[in-house]
Structure 1
Amino acid sequence: MSAQHAAEIHTGSRFSFGENWSRFLELLDDRRICQAERSLCDMLKVENLNGKRFIDVGSGSGLFSLAARRLGATVHSFDYDPKSVACTRELKNRYFPSDPHWQINEGSVLDDKFISELGNFDVVYSWGVLHHTGNMLKALNNTSSLVSEDGKLFIAIYNNQGRASKIWLQIKKAYNQLPSGFRWLVLWPAMIRLWGPTTIRDLVLRRPFHTWRHYSEESLRGMSPWRDVVDWVGGLPFETATPEQIFYFYSEKGFALKEMKTCAGGHGCNEFVFQRM
């Protein structure tokens, strides 16, 4: 699997999310961890996860696996990207060394055999991951199979902006196909597009770069603004869905929508919490 992942990055068809996350770990602190804990509790409508089985599908940095473990859950984390797996293991070694209640594996949500061997979980969590698999519909389906009876599914999926999403897909392809030394040719114009209006607004309000300087305080994943820009511009594979598409997909599988937060039609993620009925 590692060889396949490396080949996809070499050909420019996949972004190295794990490399981006490894740099994020340098910025991780208790404030960001507590913020992650609060976001889990707020969306799941719980005070803790004591006695719950929690699986992090595409664990990335491992931040939300750590948050779930600190909230009392027994945690299983996995990711397709070997560097993301390494990030998650690093966090476990920092905060829960030798803990038998936190397992970490390398695996793909598209691997039917791997998924079938994991079992069922009270909370299945996958934030901003399934649209990066290359086969989002299968990833959505396989993820749902992990939810136990009465269990909850917490996912976040990129919003479909129509023509704008198609343009971003071309930008992402251009970024990944360029040699690393030339990727700034795509990255800097994209950053100006993403941050230009906000920066101008802050200047007009006489608070220069206020949003940029305080971005990580509001970011759900605790990312720095620069890391988030790189993650967005580079993020391949890339698929999107409207809120309605996600709602109908899971309602037909016997799930009830419990919570939803949309990105108000923007290019970010819509968040959903479903419960298996």
Structure 2
Amino acid sequence: MQKKQSEWKWQWTKVYDDSKWLFTEWIYPNKLKDFKGKTVLDCGCGCGQHLNFVAPYCKQVTGIDLNTPRIAKKNTRQHKNVKVVEGDIAKIRLKKKFDIVYSIGVLHHTDNPSKSFNNIKKMVKKKGKLIVWVYSYEGNFLNRTAVEFLKKHILLRLNKNFLWVISNITAALMYIPIYTIYLLPLRFLPFYQYFQNWRKLGFKRNNQNVFDKLNAPQTFFIKKSTVKKWFNPKEFAKVHISHYKGVSWRGSGVLK
């Protein structure tokens, strides 16, 4: 069983993501209206932000999180159709199955992303839908090498308040190239598509993203071939897999 990681509690106590439009892009081609009247499962609900996005649409939504279920409960208490349970998405067993199961930005932080995927797949009803969004191996060379090296050997050992300061400074400095050279039509530059989103978001949200990269205890970068295996045609119909902003994979399918 995956161990609890205090890094996530610190992070989700500090920040809250209200970028609903970004969530809708991560679940594409699925739409929030597709959740109407459905039973839904959020695998790795964090501070509950995604639960708040889908709750107004669905019949009932359950969130699972190993590290911050209390925070998620507090942040979603205004919705009567939201339930939050503590558990490891790689091993948890629930008594019922759901119309829609999603895991957004979580599988790549688990001990074994494929094992976690295979477990949440078991909680999808027949003819139900499974939706995931994960960091991609493709397009993330700098994150896979430089950032992960620094994180492993230095950053994760730092006091969280100090790491937060480093994150703020890093995010501020990143605005210089993003609003100069990255405004030019130089599509060969790393993260060129990704930084288009950066310019749509405010500093608070961009800093949150930087901190997430520096603070996550572990991160796996998923190859397209792995996502294709997850949504194999023997088990899934209406499969959609697309590269989002050159740094992540969106995957969804209907369980046969």
Residues 81 and 106 in structure 1, CA contact (< 8 A), matched pair in contact too: yes
Matches within 5 A, 1:203-242: 214-216=200-202, 224-242=205-223
Q: Is the 8 A contact 2:171 2:206 kept in 1?
A: no
What is the match of residue 58 of structure 2?
72
Change (3 A) 1:155 1:211: closer
Ranges in structure 2 where 5+ consecutive residues have no aligned partner = 186-195
- Correspondence for 1:122: 99
- Which of 227, 230, 238 is the matching residue for 1:246? 227
1:216–1:182 distance in 2 versus 1, CA, 3 Å: closer
- Alpha-carbon offset, residue 261 of structure 1: 3.3
Q: Structure 1 residue 180 and structure 2 residue 160: aligned?
A: yes
**Alpha-carbon shift at residue 21 of structure 1 (Å):** 2.6
Question: Residues 164 and 211 of structure 2 are in contact (CA less than 8 Å); yes or no, is this contact kept in structure 1?
Answer: no
Match of 2:111 in 1: 134
Q: What value does the CA root-mean-square deviation take over the aligned residues?
A: 3.4
Give the drift of 1:250: 2.5
> Scaled by the length of structure 2, what TM-score is found?
0.78
TM-score norm. by structure 1 comes to 0.73
- Structure 2 Cα separation of the partners of residues 107 and 247 of structure 1: 27
**Judging changes above 3 Å, is the alpha-carbon distance between structure 1 residues 42 and 73 closer, same or farther for their aligned structure 2 residues?**
farther
2:75 and 2:165 map into 1 onto residues whose CA distance is 33
Identity of aligned residues (%): 20
The alignment covers a number of residue pairs equal to: 243
CA distance in structure 1 between the aligned counterparts of 2:23 and 2:57, rounded to whole angstroms:
7
Amino acid at match of 1:18: K
Match of 1:198 among 178, 181, 184: 178
Q: Which runs of 5+ in 1 are unaligned?
A: 10-15, 218-222
Which residue does the alignment assign to 1:19? 10
Deviations 1:125-158 (A, max 9, x none): 1001011112212111111111110111110111
Among residues 90, 108, 124, which one is paired with 2:74 in the alignment? 90
CA distance in 1, matches of 2:23, 2:219: 27
Work out whether 1:160 is the aligned partner of 2:140: no
**Secondary structure of residue in 2 paired with 1:215:** coil
CA–CA distance in 1 between the matches of 2:200 and 2:241?
25
Aligned partners of 1:57 and 1:124 also within 8 Å: yes
Measured at CA, do residues 107 and 227 of structure 1 come closer, stay the same or move farther in structure 2, by a change above 3 Å?
Answer: same
Distance 1:204 1:39 in 2: 24
Q: Tell me by how many angstroms 1:45 deviates.
A: 4.5
Q: Find the residue that maps to 1:151 and give its secondary structure.
A: strand
| Cα drift, residue 270 of structure 1 | 1.4
Change (3 A) 1:105 1:226: same
Q: CA deviation at 1:177?
A: 1.8
**Cα drift, residue 54 of structure 1:** 0.2
